[in-house]
Amino acid sequence: MQTGKPKKTEPDYFEIVDQSVQDSVNEGVMDDKLSIWLITKWTLVISIVVVILCAIAFNLYKYNKFQKEFSQAVNTEYRELQNMRQTSLTNLSSKEQREDGTFRIPVEDAFSVVIENYNE
């Protein structure tokens, strides 16, 4: 009965000083054969995908920023418009005597005066 691995009588493929490495080579371990073309191709593909994703993220950021600024502008204009309407409504419905001798009367009263003058 034999203990351990039987010794091969085949010749060594390479002359290596380290016996464990020599045994590995004799058992069928081979050098890595890297395909530079394949590595370059996948690196290029992944780089292009990353650039496209960055461009999409940047455009989404710009779109979101534009929407937010547009919403703020609309809300600001709406408040200014409401203030102007309120001021105009107050001016149209109030009575006032100005320093130059003119009077301001509410629109409804002005309509009545104009209609009475037209009917006469």
Under the banding of pLDDT at 50, 70 and 90, the label for residue 77 is confident
Phi and psi of 63, rounded to 5°? -65, -45
Give the per-residue pLDDT at 49: 98
Is 110's pLDDT higher than 60?
yes
Give the Cα separation of 28 and 10 in Å (integer).
Answer: 13
Is 3's pLDDT higher than 70?
no
Give the per-residue pLDDT at 6: 57
Indicate if the alpha-carbon torsion angle 61, 62, 67, 71 is positive or negative: positive
DSSP assignment of 18-62, as one string? SHHHHHHHHHT-------HHHHHHHHHHHHHHHHHHHHHHHHHHH
Give the Cα separation of 120 and 116 in Å (integer).
Answer: 6
DSSP structural state of residue 97: E
Contact 103, 96 (CB under 8 A): yes
Is 64's pLDDT higher than 90?
yes
The per-residue pLDDT for range 84-99, each reduced to its tens digit, is 888 888 877 888 878 8
The per-residue pLDDT for range 8-47, each reduced to its tens digit, is 555 555 567 788 877 777 777 766 777 889 999 999 999 9
